[in-house]
Structure 1
Amino acid sequence: MSTNSTSPSDERILRMGVAGHPDSAQAHAALASFLCAAGRVDEALAHLDREMDRQPSKIWPRSIKAGILSGERRAAEALDVHRALVAMAPEIPLLWANFGSDLAAVGDVDEAAAAFRTTIERAPGFGPAWLGLANLPGAPFGDADIAAMERGLIVTRDPYHKVQLLFALGRGYGAFGDLERSFGKFTEANALRDTLVPHDGAGLAAFVEAHDILRSSFFADAAGPSPQADSAIFIVGMPRSGSTLVEQILASHPDVEGAGELFALPEVAASIDAFAAPDAFVRRLQALTPAEAAQLGTDYLVRAGRYRRTDRPYFTDKMPANWRLIAFIRRILPGARIIDVRRDPLACCLSAYMTYFNRHTDFPNTLEDLGRYYRHYLAMMEMAEDWTPDSLYRLDHARLVSDAEQEIRALLRFLRLPFSSSCLRPEKNSRAIYTPSAQQVRAPIHHGNDRSHAYLPWLRPLQAALSAG
């Protein structure tokens, strides 16, 4: 059972398109995208390098190359390409914004801020640049910035840019202590996003409930051998629970590579048409033969391996929403370890409500739905504790920041890894990080700022939803 959807005939057609239209950026982009999808990233990059040599004055080969490197989590390699691009076309805002994003990923905060501000000079309503600034440490906004963002809301026509501007304004007003206006901007941001990326709460509820028929005996009977299955460490939970910090700690261990938020697991799940109906996933799980399950495990490892850069024996997959696929993990990778990161529900949900999620992420946009989402997550994890008693570890974020060494030692014992003092200093790890918490985990382990008490007057719907049921 293979998850590879590319075919030689598709490649021939794309190469014919390039041959027939050698100066077409679209034709070259389509071929490069195909090669990347087939796991042939270096071949795609070599193709673009040849085009850069052939057409040194053209922007598009470098732009496509920078996009591929960024998408492949190779931000450090992308930076020189970005520098060449902004030198060639300094008037294009998007090039500066992309440059700023990769600078932020590698932790170059000052240059990232400069790149974002250059973007804004050229396009005052460019939402991603304002949000990029908001995600940098400290309080980067002044009164003039707040006024500029308010004007940007009026001039920008892109609804996603508006959503990002609203989130940035929420941060800005919050930093100035205007909490009512701050929360109002977050509410506007989520309301607008709901019109663009509506959350399927009913579908999620049915999906979780369908798992209730599974029992630990099913996994014990069905779990077959899976090659290298114990190399994967899944970090799951709610967004803004502290999962990025946990991954940064583990990635500081000499035996663990931090691979970031991977889409490999949901891609493999989708390859077996698991999401056709809420209960289709469980039915498909029950029908898998041991050989099919092992092949799916191999497919996952191949897809995840695309993002690996070292030969360390273990790697992390820190996609929080993989909590939905706990049963799938247990079925196709029975040797994998799973870490469930928990944080205070109110603080965690509020932080998620204040966070921008992209157009491809199904996530709640109202406080009520957010509380229900949290309850669905808890319900799935309670079932998972029965399915995976020996391969699931619940990590409490409060304990981690209060007594880091004790909690890290316990986590490493669960993973069967020797203690390494480097895990106590995750801020020393210079790896690229692509989540909103990137800059926070570049500081020593500490208690974060719990804003839920300050915003409590507006959180009654969330409190009610969390306590319902």
Structure 2
Amino acid sequence: MTFPAIDDIETLLRTDPEPDQARPAIERFLAAWPTRHANLRLLARALRKDGLRAQAALIDQAILLAASRTPLVSTAIRAFAAGRHGDAEHLVRDALAHGRENMAATLLLAEIAAAAGLDEEAVKLYRTGLSAMPDDHEIKFKLANALFRLNQVTAAIAIVDDIVATRPDDMSAALLRLTMLGQIGEYDEAERGYGESLSRCEDFAMLWVGYAHLLKTSGKISDSIAAYRRALMLEPGLGEAWWGLADLKSGVLGEADIVTIEEELRHSGDNAYQALHLHFAAGKALEDARQYPASFKHYARGNAIVAAGANHDAAAQSDETDRTIRLFDQPFLADRKGAGHPSRAPIFILGMPRAGSTLIEQILSSHSLIEGTAELPYISLLAHRLVAERWSSGSVRYPDVVAGVDPAALAALGELYLEAAAVHRKTDRPYFIDKLPENWLHIGLIHLILPNAIIIDARRDPMACGFSNFKQHYAKGRSFASSLGDIGRYYSDYVRLLDHIDTVLPGRVHRVEHETLVTNTESEVRRLLTHIGVEFEASCLRFYENARPVRTASASQVRRPIDPTSGQAWQPYSQWLSPLADALPQRA
């Protein structure tokens, strides 16, 4: 059936020089016939065929808005915004089960999947949305991000290139592309891209921040500082730039900066995102000035903002650790002995964040046979993939799902990891490093799929490590770090699991105690290289001369000789750290 109102809308869209004036007519149509989305979709398709893509996109947006106002979807949107992702998922699935097209429900389900780390499902759902709304740049943007997280870099960059081609002034898309290039190690191309973008849009402060991040990664610290300062000239309250300077850990923030940051905090209002960066920056600047009470107050306030938006469940984390210990017992591992991919190339450095893993990586990557890459996400992506394949049933958890993997399939999973990691490899050295600390959560899976890989546990004094996490603002993830008690419990879970692995797989993990490494460096480095199976090279002791890019929070620290006093930074704060101490395992 054809509705006369459709003809009126088409006339408006084809003849009116201001397409937005057609929006009220589209909304009246949807209000009168809320189930007739298909009629408008056909009109949008016809408009696109005739090159009227902006007008077609107007229809798409109106349909999306109408769909988001339906009772189930609007309730689901509110639940998702409040962090109740499980409730949101149930509501969205109910909406989709009704059988009518509801693109708002489909896209919200994509958001839920992405938030759960199920990016393969998110990609499918975003592609469904894009098939109905091919000119929606927001969907393209989110799809590109999901593809990038899945290591489908070529496809992700192609989508961003499409956004940039149709919207050349979209600096957010340009920034995303440059960020992707930097994260896969294409630093020279990324630096050229920043230069080109800044020549066209030198007043976009976040572009300067991205450029500063890249320069820090490349070891160009003075240029990085200048870029952060340029961003602050444009936006004095830009929290990311202030934190970028503080995170250089070089004492670059002075008394005048503290005054400015405090002033900007007073004007940050309801902008929690800016405020948390400013609090962490103030905490570091005041720590350098030895104003410890004021410093801790800012660290605590910044973490309170993070905790308010975080969803860390310490009990669930401990439960997963318990289930991991139960699953990976000696009989289970013995049944799978000889399975997995035989490669000896990967060297996994895992443990707590801020435990010295970057230092170990820098030392090892100074060896002629070992390549440093980055904190690679691919082991956790494989774990998510195993769960995602059974997501629809809702009955499988990690790591329990690993028990259902056929031993013959373990080698294929190892191959998938190696293929993904290859994107980050720039040399033909026989070994490469993956130093994502959180891989401790997947140590059993690593052993099964790559039984010959080297596994190194970067261990640090729990108080020093715990406080270092508390005062570090992480761009994403690591929500446990916003609570001193949660940090202690997380550390305890980590130690429990590694102790278990030492029992069921004696000698499988090589442990490097940070305090021993910084006080007796040469003997520890020799011991480490012997474990890997390579000859000692003196260059490993001159790791600070290594010009390789480093993307972690320790990027500037590992370009300097070892500071044996760095482990004492927590002591001036000891009076406030009892929640951490109480949650930690008994100290040796």
Instruction: Tell me the TM-score normalised to structure 1 length.
Output: 0.89
**Residue range with higher mean Cα deviation, 65-74 or 124-133:** 65-74
After TM superposition, the structure 1 = structure 2 runs for residues 107-186 of structure 1, keeping only pairs within 5 Å, are 107-156=219-268, 157-186=270-299
Residue 49 and residue 452 in structure 1: after superposition, are their counterparts in 2 closer, same or farther (change >3 A)? closer
Mapped partners of 1:9, 1:355: distance in 2: 35
Distance in 1 of aligned mates of 2:249 and 2:331: 48
Structure with a larger share of its residues in helix: 2
User: Letter of the aligned partner of 1:413 in structure 2?
Assistant: T
Amino acid of the structure 1 residue aligned with 2:421: A
Measured after TM superposition, the shift of residue 400 of structure 1 is: 1.1
Distance 1:234 1:95, change over 3 A: same
Q: Distance in 2 between matches of 1:12 and 1:463?
A: 49
- Give the match for residue 338 of structure 1: 455
- Please list every run of 5 or more consecutive structure 1 residues that lacks an aligned counterpart in the other structure: none
Instruction: Output the CA distance in 2 between the equivalents of 1:42 and 1:34.
Output: 12
Distance verdict in 2 for CA 1:63–1:238, change over 3 Å: closer
**Cα distance in structure 1, aligned partners of 2:176 and 2:300:** 35
- Aligned partners of 2:481 and 2:343: how far apart in 1? 32
Once the two structures are superposed, residues 36-94 of structure 1 have per-residue CA deviations (whole angstroms, 9 ceiling, x without a partner) of 46755356657877987898777566434312212324334311211222221121111
Deviation at 1:364, TM superposition (A): 3.4
Counterpart of 2:573 in structure 1 is 455
Partner of 1:409: 526
Residue 66 of structure 2 corresponds to none
Deviation at 1:340, TM superposition (A): 0.5
**Structure 1 residue 247 and structure 2 residue 361: aligned?**
yes
AA paired with 1:171? K
Query: 1:175-254 alignment to 2 at 5 Å?
Result: 175-213=288-326, 214-254=328-368
Q: 1:136 to 1:39 in 2, by over 3 A?
A: closer
The question of whether the paired residues in 1 share the 8 Å contact of 2:340 and 2:407 is answered with no
8 Å contact 1:106–1:430 — kept in the other structure?
yes
Aligned position for 1:71? 183
Which deviations, in whole Å up to 9, do the C-alpha atoms of 1:126-176 show, x marking residues without a partner? 111101100224321222211111122233343222111111110111111
| Separation in 2, partners of 1:6, 1:179 | 44
Q: Please, which moves more after superposition, 217-226 or 7-16?
A: 7-16
User: 2:123 touches 2:143 (CA, 8 Å); kept in 1?
Assistant: no
Correspondence for 1:399 among 516, 519, 522: 516
1:266 aligns with 2:380: yes
Q: Secondary structure at the match of 1:253?
A: coil
Structure 2 CA distance for partners of 1:191 and 1:299, relative to 1, 3 Å: same
Gaps of 5+ in 2: 1-118
Give me the whole-angstrom Cα distance separating, in 1, the residues matched to 2:554 and 2:306. 21
Counterpart of 2:349 in 1: which secondary structure? strand
Distance 1:59 1:250, change over 3 A: same
Aligned to 1:369: 486
What secondary structure, in the 3-state scheme, does the structure 1 residue paired with 2:350 have? Answer: strand
Q: Does the alignment pair 1:431 with 2:548?
A: yes
Equivalent position amino acid for 1:458 in 2: W
Question: 2:173 and 2:305 mapped to 1: Cα distance?
Answer: 35
User: Any conservation in 2 of the 1:52–1:62 contact (CA below 8 Å)?
Assistant: yes
Cα distance between partner residues in 2 of 1:8 and 1:181: 48
Q: Which amino acid aligns with 2:346?
A: A
3-state SS of the aligned residue for 1:272? Answer: helix
Cα deviations by residue, 1:274-313 (Å, 9 ceiling, x for unpaired): 8989993343222321112222222222222222222222
Contact 1:357 1:363 in 2 (8 A): no
Compared with structure 1, are the counterparts of its residues 9 and 438 closer, same or farther at alpha carbon in structure 2 (3 Å cutoff)? closer
2:205 aligns with 93
Task: Provide the secondary structure at the position in 1 that maps to 2:510.
Answer: strand
Conserved 8 A contact 1:11-1:34: no
Change in CA separation of 1:198 and 1:30 when aligned onto 2, cut-off 3 Å: closer
Structure 2 Cα separation of the partners of residues 278 and 248 of structure 1: 42
More divergent stretch after superposition (3-12 vs 192-201): 3-12
Which amino acid letter does the alignment assign opposite residue 251 of structure 1?
S
CA distance in 1, matches of 2:288, 2:238: 21
Letter in 2 for 1:134: A
CA distance in 1, matches of 2:250, 2:168: 40
Quickly say closer, same or farther: Cα 1:451–1:36, change in 2 above 3 A: closer
User: Which amino acid letter does the alignment assign opposite residue 361 of structure 1?
Assistant: R
Q: Deviations over 1:212-248 (max 9, x none)?
A: 3232332132133433532111111111110000011
Q: Distance in 1 between matches of 2:581 and 2:362?
A: 31
32-41 or 336-345: bigger deviation:
32-41
How much has 1:369 moved relative to structure 2?
A: 1.8
The alpha carbon displacement at 1:406 in A equals: 0.9
- Could you give the per-residue CA deviations for residues 180-228 of structure 1, whole angstroms, max 9, x where no partner exists? 0101111111111100113210001111111332323321321334335
Distance 2:585 2:168 in 1: 61
Given that 2:342 and 2:451 are in contact with CA atoms closer than 8 Å, whether structure 1 keeps it comes out as no
- Report if the CA contact (8 A) 1:285-1:331 is conserved: no
Matched-pair contact (CA < 8 Å) for 2:340–2:408: no
> 2:141, 2:160 within 8 Å by CA — same for their partners in 1?
no
Give CA-to-partner distance per residue, 1:364-390, whole Å, 9 cap, x none.
322222211111111011011123323
Give the Cα separation in 2 of the matches to 1:178 and 1:61: 41
- In structure 2, how many angstroms separate the alpha carbons of the residues matched to 1:463 and 1:112? 36
Q: Could you tell which deviates more after superposition, 56-65 or 140-149?
A: 56-65
Aligned-partner residue type, residue 208 of structure 2: W
What count of residue pairs does the alignment treat as equivalent?
A: 463
Aligned-partner residue type, residue 102 of structure 1: L
Q: Decide whether the 8 Å contact of 1:59 with 1:88 is kept in 2.
A: no
Report if aligned partners of 1:196, 1:359 keep a CA contact under 8 Å in 2. Answer: no
Larger CA Rg, structure 1 vs 2:
2
